[in-house]
Amino acid sequence: MPAAVRGLDEAAAYLTSCVTGGLLPSAVLEVGRADQVLGRIACATRDDAVYDLASLTKVLATGLLAARLLAQRRLDLDTPVADLVPDWQRRDRIDVRIRDLLAHASGLPPHLPLYEQHHGADAVVAASANADLVTDPRRTAIYSDLGFVVLGRALERADGQPLDAQMGAVRRACTQAPLGFAPVPAGHDVQPTGHSAWRGRDLVGEVHDDNAAAMGGVAGHAGLFGSAGGVGDVARHVLQGLRGQDTALAPAWALRTFSRRSPVPGSSRALAWDTSLPTSSCGGYVSDRAIGHTGHTGTSVWIDPAYDRYVVLLTNRVAGRAGASDMLRIRRRVHELIGAARPGAWHA
């Protein structure tokens, strides 16, 4: 594995200090460009270790599957959600469209502990679709797991297959490395994600998110597992598309459609993806064309077509001491070390 990217050694030393200091149990970092991996390092694990990707599911599964269905003319982003999800019938949301769910602009709340009273995918989808709105649709963007629970069901109706079966097409198109919903194939080093009080056990190889667990581990908002190599494979295809090249994953126009920032007032969200702000976890050495996403378990991917660069950082911070604010600091520091070392780098 080449390690030609500047700043990778410094980032590796920093992540090693986070591991030895007890903040992170392990970490894998991959940096690349559209045509190749530039470097990958692992701390306290193998470089092909598999992680619970958490909310990276929203972009690497749900968002990409929606882009593929759009390109195949099997999904119209302006389709009312109620046309695909029969549970979506309350009058205050009847005009919400698929693109509103993708842009986190449906008005649904961020999270509810639905697993406490609802078991099975159908029950959790119905509860999500009927949750009280916290704002009018399209008034603002509120990052919502519940919206992507509903969106996952909409994509299953549009395609006629469950999400985990649809992910098979993504793997065939762009990756032979681990990337998919559980169970993880035997022989892979799966990283633990701590204790679930609801399930009463330590988690290894089953989804950390309890709502996703109540759905059987396959959901639109969480449930995907993968290695840095698997995430990086998809990132290279997305990067190629953003730079104008049609890919086996989806044509360039579809991938670019999903990268454009939403017109919702005050939102940094694109369709499924987030875009860069000065406060984002990607740090300041990125362009205003960068897109990315983070995951609660300690994962992230950022893709910048202006600089032909992507960065994948996978950790299992929920099994260590790092809180959410610690993880934001860790992500920014890693990206700053890599970005500052790039020739001609500038700080946003």
Which residues have C-beta within 8 Å of that of residue 98, sequence separation ≥ 6? Answer: 66, 75, 76, 77, 78, 79, 81, 84, 151, 154
Domains of the chain, by residue range, sit at: 8-56+176-340, 65-159
Neighbours of 201 (CB within 10 A): 10
**265-284: pLDDT as tens digits:** 999 999 999 999 989 999 98
Q: Would strands 36-43 and 274-275 be described as parallel, antiparallel, or unpaired?
A: unpaired
Residue 341: predicted pLDDT:
75
Angle value at C-alpha 155, between 154 and 157, nearest 5 degrees: 65
Residue 342: predicted pLDDT:
72
| 98 neighbors 78 (Cβ within 8 angstroms) | yes
Residue 4: predicted pLDDT:
59
Which residues have C-beta within 8 Å of that of residue 287, sequence separation ≥ 6? Answer: 276, 304, 305, 306, 307, 348
Residue 337: predicted pLDDT:
95
Which helix (DSSP H) or strand (DSSP E) does residue 179 occupy? strand 179-181
| 297 neighbors 51 (Cβ within 8 angstroms) | yes
| 190 neighbors 207 (Cβ within 8 angstroms) | no
In sequence order, which ranges of the chain are alpha helices (DSSP H)?
8-20, 57, 64-71, 81-84, 98-102, 121-129, 145-159, 163-174, 210-214, 228-242, 252-259, 324-340
Tokens of 138: 């399209």
Fold of 8-56+176-340: Beta-lactamase (3.40.710)
Q: Which residue stretches of the chain have pLDDT < 70? A: 1-4, 343-348
Residue 3: predicted pLDDT:
44
Residue 208 CA to residue 193 CA, distance in Å, equals 6
**127-150: pLDDT as tens digits:** 999 999 999 999 999 999 999 999
Q: ω before 183 within 30° of 0 (cis)?
A: yes
Amino acid at 128: S
Model confidence, pTM = 0.96
Which residues have C-beta within 8 Å of that of residue 201, sequence separation ≥ 6? Answer: 195
Tokens of 207: 């989804």
Residue 344: predicted pLDDT:
59
Neighbours of 176 (CB within 10 A): 10
Residue 337 CA to residue 348 CA, distance in Å, equals 14
Helix (H, G, I), strand (E, B) or coil at 228: helix
Which residues have C-beta within 8 Å of that of residue 165, sequence separation ≥ 6? Answer: none
**158-209: pLDDT as tens digits:** 999 999 999 999 999 888 889 999 998 888 999 999 999 999 999 999 999 9
